[in-house]
C-alpha cells in the first residue's frame, strides 16, 4: 500500500483558488480515504491518494493537473507501514 501526496502552490499564472475550488468540486471524488485538499490561507490545492503499490494513479490527478495548468510543486509517494 502507498500514499501519494500532490501539492500545488497557486500564483498569478494559475486559476484563482475560488475558481479551482468550484472546478475540483465537480470532479469525481477520489476513493476514500483519499481526498482533494485545499488550503485557503496558503493558497494551495492538492490531493491525497491511498492505493495498492501496483495500482496506477487515478485519472482525477491528471484532471487536477490540467485544471491548475502545470505539474505539482510537490509529488511524494510513501509506503504504508
28-77 per-position pLDDT tens digit: 999 999 999 999 999 999 999 999 988 999 999 999 999 999 999 999 99
Q: What is the pTM of this model?
A: 0.90
Query: What is the total count of domains within the chain?
Result: 1
Domain encompassing residue 11: 2-79
Q: Quick one: cell of 81?
A: 507501514
Query: Rounded mean pLDDT of the chain?
Result: 95
CATH of the domain at 67: 3.30.70.100
For residue 42, what are the contacts with CB-CB under 8 A and spacing of at least 6? Answer: 9
Please tell me the predicted confidence (pLDDT) of residue 5: 97
Phi/psi at 61 (5° precision): -70, -40
Amino acid at each position: 500500500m502507498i500514499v501519494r501526496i500532490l501539492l500545488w502552490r497557486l500564483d498569478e499564472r494559475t486559476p484563482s483558488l475560488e475558481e479551482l475550488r468550484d472546478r475540483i468540486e465537480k470532479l469525481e471524488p477520489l476513493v476514500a480515504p483519499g481526498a482533494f485538499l485545499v488550503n485557503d490561507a496558503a493558497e494551495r490545492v492538492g490531493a491525497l491518494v491511498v492505493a495498492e503499490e501496483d495500482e496506477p494513479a487515478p485519472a482525477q490527478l491528471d484532471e487536477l493537473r490540467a485544471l491548475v495548468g502545470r505539474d505539482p510543486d510537490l509529488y511524494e509517494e510513501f509506503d504504508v507501514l
